[in-house]
Amino acid sequence: MLFFYEIREGIRIAFQAIRANKMRSVLTTVGVVIGIVSVTLMGTALEGMNRAFDESIESIGADVLYVEKFPWMGGGDWWTYRNRPDIRMEHATALERYATVPQAVSPSAMAMSRMSFRERSVDGVYISGTTHRYMEFTGTDLLYGRFMTQAESESGRPVTVLGSEVAENLFNVENPLGQTVKINNQSFRVIGVLERQGSFLGLFSLDNQALIPMNRFLRMYGHRRNITIEVKAGSLELIEETKEEIRGIMRRERRLEPWEEDNFAINQQEMLTSTFAGISAVIGGVGFFITGLALFVGGIGIMNITFVSVSERTKEIGIRKSLGAPKRSILLQFLMESGFICLLGGIIAIIIAYPLSLIIDQVIPTAMPVSIVIIALIISFTVGIVSGFMPAYRASRLDPVEAIRHE
Amino acid sequence: MANIIKIRNISKEYNMGVEIVHALRDVSLDIDKNEHVAIMGPSGSGKSTLMNILGCLDTPTKGLYEFNGLNVSKMNDNELARIRNKEIGFVFQTFNLLSRSDALHNVELPLIYAGVSSGERKRRAKEALEQVGLGDRVTHKPNELSGGQRQRVAVARALVTRPSIILADEPTGNLDSKSGDDILNLFRELHEQGNTIIVVTHEKYVAEHSRRIISIKDGLVESDVEIENSRVPNGMREELTA
């Protein structure tokens, strides 16, 4: 109970002191404000990045493996990867024929082309070659129409399923189903439209694509082309087993001797996640180091002003001590004061940081959840307590006889 | 025998670097409950040192100090703070009020450190202010009060914890003679109500208002005498004779 009264008295004194020295308190907080603004913006940007990544990564199934020439994870010699043989359709066929563990195998390839419908045309559409199994690999649904059938896929019929952006650009409000569009001057019939998916890592729009049968794609863009083979394990437990099986099949197809290394890569979502986690940790580390410096400088300012406050109020400390205030109570009084000055700085900082984060959001995705606000306030209060400790401790140890004589 | 203060052979030395100053040498004295004592001596006599030790603001270098049977000379800072809070009410020459707080909060202050609840604190602080005749000045800040009124707030602050002793250090030193007499008169009343009062002063006039005068000189007790007819403050005398 006594402790509670002491804290309450401490808070009362703190606010009295802050009110009595408004200008000084506000100026003192500037350092802390800068520190907390940068901490908050840093956190906001990281949070936004993480969220954008999480949303994007959802479009890649966690149980899907990608057989490709280049590994997603960095490192290694680029030229070694560059000189590997291409992944071809025959590998996809072999995987489809021999693999027993995975649920589905589907080759895919991508090219950029111009698309047109009557007099309207769009440049730079991603033309994706795929198979009728595509829908098993993606988390997306169809907005209208249907997907390609196995027959259409295998015979390479000129049919296409459009991404929502492409459909909008070419058809505006018209119904695209059954219409004929031109890709690379070849006619395709629109059989379906995919629902809106957004962009991948903010880099390329998944809605700006048109899906066509793989066999048609190869005829248009050439058979001797490096492709990607997507393999769906069916569940996360089967991922390792699937990986081993397709690795064996690929090595056999490539006729690799046991001592030779793989000349292909088996990629999975996890690799992106861990690479991203690494990047985000580095950005976070560097960012927080810089903001830590700003907070440190702010903290020194608080320490300085608390020393001033202690020496200005030496007599008051003497009076309180003569009336029976224990050391703890004096310590608490000054810790509360420095803590609340910093908390004030934290609040000012958040008021500044919030509109700033909205501006930054125009460039990179940001998000300021309540947790960041609370963390920022806790950090600012802590900075106050830590930097106020030395002067407060000194105040608590003052000799009452000397202190009370101080003018 | 209700012995509040028992001092045996205490000395206080200050190390001033080149020489050691003996502020008190081998002082012994007893003060009983409900005494009204003046400790008198010129500046440099050691009376301030004695007052600091009596008030548990400082501890002696040598000797024994018992307060209500507790050995104060061996206590640490926080234990001393506790004794000051519960047992001693201070009145200082320069009032020593908190300038940013009103009279009520100033009087409340020792009760905060005693862990008394807010409502109880306010009630008792108000009561103490009424006792010193300032019931109508509760919300005034020190700079809105006269010197005499400020000192009465300080007396109320000393009374509010119902301490064993009230220790006043030159309580009239910063007051005009009228206000000074008022304060001396207040002490007299408080003594009559059963309080134990110790006044430290260099003024014979002030000391003569008490019932016992302990004179200190060069760190030693020079004399310790009871006064049969203590002086009645000027204002009072007129009232008494009228």
Mean pLDDT, residues B103-116 taken together: 93
Q: How many CA atoms lie within 13 A of A145 on its CB side?
A: 22
B96 close contact with A: CB closer than 8 A: yes
**Which residues from A are below 8 Å from B86, CB to CB?**
324
Q: For position B2, what pLDDT does the model report?
A: 67
Report the C-alpha gap between A110 and A42 in whole angstroms.
Answer: 36
Which two tokens mark A67? 């057989």
Q: Taking each helix axis from N to C terminus, what angle separates A370-396 and A327-360, rounded to the nearest 10 degrees?
A: 150
Q: Which residue from A minimizes the CA distance to B59?
A: A401
- Is pLDDT of B120 > 90? yes
Q: Taking the domains of chain B in order of start, what are their residue ranges?
A: 34-56+79-241
Residues 18-77 of A with CB under 8 A from B: 20
Mean pLDDT, residues A321-342 taken together: 91
Contact state of B115 with A327 under an 8 Å Cβ cutoff: no
Report the C-alpha gap between B111 and B198 in whole angstroms.
Answer: 22
Distances (CA, A) of A305 to A16, A315, A346, B228, B238: 15, 17, 17, 57, 55
ipTM of model = 0.92
- Is pLDDT of A62 > 90? no
CATH number, domain B34-56+79-241: 3.40.50.300
Contact state of B115 with A2 under an 8 Å Cβ cutoff: yes
Mean pLDDT, residues A9-14 taken together: 86
Phi, psi dihedrals of residue A188, rounded to the nearest 5°:
-135, 145
Q: For position A202, what pLDDT does the model report?
A: 60
Q: Taking each helix axis from N to C terminus, what angle separates A269-312 and A22-57, rounded to the nearest 10 degrees?
A: 170
Q: For position A361, what pLDDT does the model report?
A: 79
Confidence category of residue B242, pLDDT binned at 50, 70, 90: very low
In one-letter notation, the amino acid at residue B39 is I
List the Cα angle A14/A17/A21 in 5-degree steps.
140
Q: For position B241, what pLDDT does the model report?
A: 46
Mean pLDDT, residues A315-319 taken together: 93
Confidence category of residue A61, pLDDT binned at 50, 70, 90: confident
Report the C-alpha gap between B5 and B165 in whole angstroms.
Answer: 9
Confidence category of residue B107, pLDDT binned at 50, 70, 90: very high
Contact B216, B185 (CB under 8 A): no
Confidence category of residue A118, pLDDT binned at 50, 70, 90: confident
Which two tokens mark B43? 């500046």
HEC sequence for chain B: CCEEEEEEEEEEEEECCCCEEEEEEEEEEEEECCCEEEEECCCCCCHHHHHHHHCCCCCCCEEEEEECCEEHHHCCHHHHHHHHHHHEEEECCCCCCCCCCCHHHHHHHHHHHCCCCHHHHHHHHHHHHHHCCCCCCCCCCHHHCCHHHHHHHHHHHHHCCCCCEEEEECCCCCCCHHHHHHHHHHHHHHHHCCCEEEEEECCHHHHCCCCEEEEEECCEEEEEEECCCCCCCHHHHHHHHC
Confidence category of residue A74, pLDDT binned at 50, 70, 90: low
Mean pLDDT, residues B105-114 taken together: 93
The contacts of residue A387 (CB under 8 Å, 6+ apart) are A299, A300, A302, A303, A306, A338, A342
Interface test with B, best of A1, A323, A329, A401 (most B CBs within 10 A): A323
DSSP string, A275-288: HHHHHHHHHHHHHH
Higher pLDDT, B75 or A198: B75
Percent of chain A with pLDDT over 90: 28
**Average of per-residue pLDDT values in chain A:** 87
Interface test with A, best of B94, B97, B112, B164 (most A CBs within 10 A): B112
Q: Which residue from B minimizes the CA distance to A321?
A: B81
DSSP string, A227-294: -EEEEE-SSGGGHHHHHHHHHHHHHHHHT--TTSPPSSEEEEHHHHHHHHHHHHHHHHHHHHHHHHHH
**Which residues from A are below 8 Å from B115, CB to CB?**
1-2, 5
CA A346, distance to chain mean position in Å, is 25
Mean pLDDT, residues A121-133 taken together: 90
- Is pLDDT of B101 > 50? yes
In one-letter notation, the amino acid at residue A248 is G
B57: closest CA among B200, B135, B167, B216? B167
pLDDT tens-digit series, residues A354-368 = 898 888 877 777 778
Of A182-191, A254-263, B230-239, minimum mean pLDDT range? B230-239
How far is A19 from chain B, CA to nearest CA, in Å? 11
Interface test with A, best of B51, B86, B94, B98 (most A CBs within 10 A): B98
Q: For position A159, what pLDDT does the model report?
A: 94
Contact state of B96 with A1 under an 8 Å Cβ cutoff: no
Q: For position B67, what pLDDT does the model report?
A: 93
